[in-house]
Amino acid sequence: MRPRIGIEKLGAYPGSLVLPMRALFEARGHDYTQIRDVMMIDERSVNPGWEDPVTMVVNAAKPLLTDADRERIGLLIVASESGVDQEKPISTWVQRYLGLSSGVRNIEVKHACYGSTASLQLAAGWIASGVAPGEAALVINTDQSRMHLGKPWEYVLGAAAVAVLVSDTPKVLEIELGAYGVHTNEVSDLTRPTPHVETGNSETSLLSYLDGLEGALDDYLRRRPEAADLDGHFARNIYHLPFGGMGYRAHKAVLRRGGTSGRDEVREDFARKTLHSLAFVRRMGGTYGASTFLALMALIDTDADLRAGDRVGIFSYGSGSCASCGADWSVRKRAKPCAPPGCRRCSTPGARCPSPSMKRSRRRALRSSTAAITIPIWPPLAVKKGLLVFRGMREFYRQYGWS
């Protein structure tokens, strides 16, 4: 009898600031309906100066864990394409500020947006091996967009961290071991050649994503031929979401494999099986590897018809590239709220974010050739108490502290 392994707890941290897409589009002189209806994004997260991938990941995991959880965590994996140091792994800061044991094995993983799903699969295999009975794994993804303001893709990027506690007592999602498909192919689509450059060919990335979806499905059906009726096999489908609208394109590609191509049929099936999973990404923008887990959280939190035991097809993609899909058993449980208290709304010029505790503020303009959006930058003392904050550099070493 195979052990029951999966996600025991799942939480997220979306950052302190949120920028409404309507305000950004008006400032840039573009039609807001394009981002709302086609890209399916209403708001996007923005990191202030005191947040970075380290603070986000700690702030995502800290409220999730009890003292008992910390004692049984034996493996920590942090997946990110936004590393803050070329040598020192993010996972070491996480181990320290979460108060984990010195006996925890910790690593940082980089594989674009696929790293977090690969880490979940590695953690599940580690638990299934039985080498550390009773221990759990903490898998975290943390990413932020960089140096893109004024670029065509500034509307779809964002930031977030998700924390996943993986164990042999799954309360959120039970993984169906052995039910997966993989497709790997080298492609130069998106790249971060330096810590301050994020660029690439979005059209190549889109085509590579869809190729990966087709290839991963083919491999999945090779391993699970009984799933040939994809519509009947999966009660719900969720996808990696560089932007919300990509979920619709991916689901349409899956339906076409089963012979469903009519526009009304596709939209109806998408609304029933996938649309609920977009709820959080629509508010946070592109969150890289975190998006797959945010889609799962949104599905559990907003789909009233989802039932314990429903099989959920999960597709993950990472530039470079690697894609995988799997059939998982979803165990019905209310997910943690997406946004923590104290999230501030960014404003257009002339407006201010409400903050009773604000003593002073500085302003930073996000400029393009046409207009500017002004984001108030609050001093760390105005941040919600108990959050980890970045306090600056000292002789090349990063300094952190609690607000």
- What are 65-69's contacts with CB under 8 Å, separation 24+? 65/9, 65/98, 65/138, 65/165, 69/9, 69/136, 69/165
The pTM for the full model equals: 0.87
Spot the catalytic one: 43, 113, 251, 322.
113
Categorize the per-residue pLDDT at 147 as very low, low, confident or very high, splitting at 50, 70 and 90.
low
Q: What's the confidence (pLDDT) of residue 344?
A: 58
Any idea which of 1-10, 153-162, 268-277, 339-348 has the lowest mean pLDDT? 339-348
Q: Is 209 helix (H, G, I), strand (E, B) or coil?
A: helix
Determine the pLDDT at residue 346. 52
H or E, element range at 181: strand 173-184
| Close Cβ partners of 37 (under 8 Å, ≥ 6 residues apart) | none
Q: What is the mean pLDDT of residues 204-223?
A: 93
Nearest-angstrom CA–CA distance, 211 and 200 = 18
Check whether 3 has a pLDDT greater than 90. no
The one catalytic residue among 8, 81, 174, 198: 81
pLDDT at 330: 47
Is the distance from CB of 314 to CB of 326 less than 8 angstroms?
Answer: yes
Which pLDDT score is estimated for 41? Answer: 92
Q: Is the pLDDT of residue 123 over 90?
A: yes
What is residue 361's predicted lDDT score, i.e. its pLDDT?
29
Stretch 236-254: mean pLDDT, rounded?
Answer: 95
| pLDDT band of 83, cuts 50, 70, 90 | very high
Task: Tell me how far CA of residue 392 lies from CA of 48, 170, 233, in angstroms.
Answer: 13, 39, 51
Summarize pLDDT for 320-371 with one digit per residue, the tens: 888 898 755 444 443 343 333 345 565 433 222 322 222 222 223 233 333 3
Strand runs labelled E in 274-339? 310-318, 322-330
For residue 67, pLDDT beyond 70: yes
Residue 240: active-site member: yes
The active-site residue out of 240, 338, 346, 353 is 240
Q: Assign 287 a pLDDT band (cuts: 50, 70, 90).
A: very high
Structure tokens at 252: 């349409």
Q: Which domains does the chain have, with CATH numbers?
A: 1-403 (3.40.47.10)
Q: Is the pLDDT of residue 53 over 90?
A: yes
Per-residue model confidence (pLDDT) at position 107: 97
